[in-house]
Amino acid sequence: MTTQLEQEIASQPAHIAALLAREAPRIREICAGLPDFDYALIAARGSSDHAAMYAKYVWAALGGRPVALAAPSLHTLYDAPPRMAGALVVGISQSGQSPDIVAVLAEAQRQGRPTLAITNDGASPLAAVADAVVELGVGPERSVAATKTYTAELAVIAAFAATFSGDARRLEELQRLPDALAATLAQADAVARRAERYRYMDRCVVIGRGYNSATAFELALKLKELTYVMAIPYSSADFRHGPIATIGVGAPALLVMPAGRAFDDMLDLARELRRLGAELLVISDQAQALDLATTPLPLATSVAEWLSPLTAALPGQTLALHLALAKGLDPDAPRAIQKVTRTL
């Protein structure tokens, strides 16, 4: 029986195509109307915080816009909001309901800073407090684990990055993205067959670097939510600063390593992990990476590195879905979590 999660994973290419067609002009309009700002301050939680991590790289790399990640607890628990002089303050939330994220934007408005909301609910409290809103418009996400809303957030962030860059080639690369997503999902059956091998896995590491640091954190979250595996995410750089000592024979390591500037570093790490006896699951579009893997999870087509977090997320989502099924779990209703989480 097809699960709601499987349907939502499969829907992503169409949703991203529609989102880009609908919202790209709106994003250009928002960018044209922004006052000068020195940096972006982004408030988010959960998967949306991983989207913010992607923005930290892509807005800086393409648009020269430094990004800081907010600490919402300063606004709610400690009643000690920081000065936001020079900031564009951004809230990213699928539901737009979490009071702590709303509080960050409300304080930004009190300080006279421009605010932007990226949310799937244009009638949410977050949207109501923002100067400008980009609505994801992907429809209700009925499965608890975020999939289509996460990649939609990435697509919106990428569209802002392309606009900030002023480079028309970036917008062209973005428009080709839905076809790349569809090609990658066409290989979902092969990923599903490989999930059974990890039925009894109870822990693993998930590693990426640069743009795909965010992907490592998001896929670790998907494995935790859906399969209850204690999946620990790392940047490859941070992993070398101590955690590599945890790797022994048979230790599972999921590596996110598409082509790009981070690839050589990830390849060196993959070889080192192989030498230590780790079992590698590898998401890549490069044969030399996939050849190192016990379980290769190939990307069907290459995209520009700055867009690769969108394609790289899909094999990981699919793996988590089918590993949950192999473990006899309900991927639409994982234990102890709810679709909308309101943190104070």
Residue 118: which of 103, 108, 133 has the closest Cα? 133
CA dihedral 67, 69, 74, 76 (to 10 degrees): 110
* Residue 339: burial class (beta carbons within 10 Å; 0-12, 13-18, 19+): middle
Q: For the segment 115-165, what is each residue's pLDDT rounded down to a tens digit?
A: 999 999 999 999 999 999 999 999 999 999 999 999 999 999 999 999 999
pLDDT of residue 156: 98
pLDDT of residue 339: 58
Q: For the segment 14-42, what is each residue's pLDDT rounded down to a tens digit?
A: 999 999 999 999 999 999 999 999 999 99
Q: For the segment 249-299, what is each residue's pLDDT rounded down to a tens digit?
A: 999 999 999 999 999 999 999 999 999 999 999 999 999 999 999 999 999
pLDDT of residue 2: 84
The phi, psi pair for 343, rounded to 5°, reads -105, 145
Determine the Cα–Cα distance for residues 316 and 96; give it in Å rounded to an integer.
25
Residue 88: which of 142, 52, 136 has the closest Cα? 52
pLDDT band at 340 (very low <50, low <70, confident <90, very high): low
Q: For the segment 41-93, what is each residue's pLDDT rounded down to a tens digit?
A: 999 999 999 999 999 999 999 999 999 999 999 999 999 999 999 999 999 99
Average pLDDT of 7-20? 98
The whole-model pTM stands at 0.97
Catalytic residues: 339
- Do 307 and 177 form a contact (C-beta atoms < 8 A)? yes
Long-range CB pairs of 20-25 (<8 Å, 24+ gap) are 20/155, 20/159, 20/174, 20/175, 20/177, 20/178, 22/137, 23/134, 23/135, 23/137, 23/156, 23/159, 24/159, 24/171, 24/174
Domains of the chain: 4-175 (3.40.50.10490), 188-326 (3.40.50.10490)
**pLDDT surpassing 90 at residue 344:** no
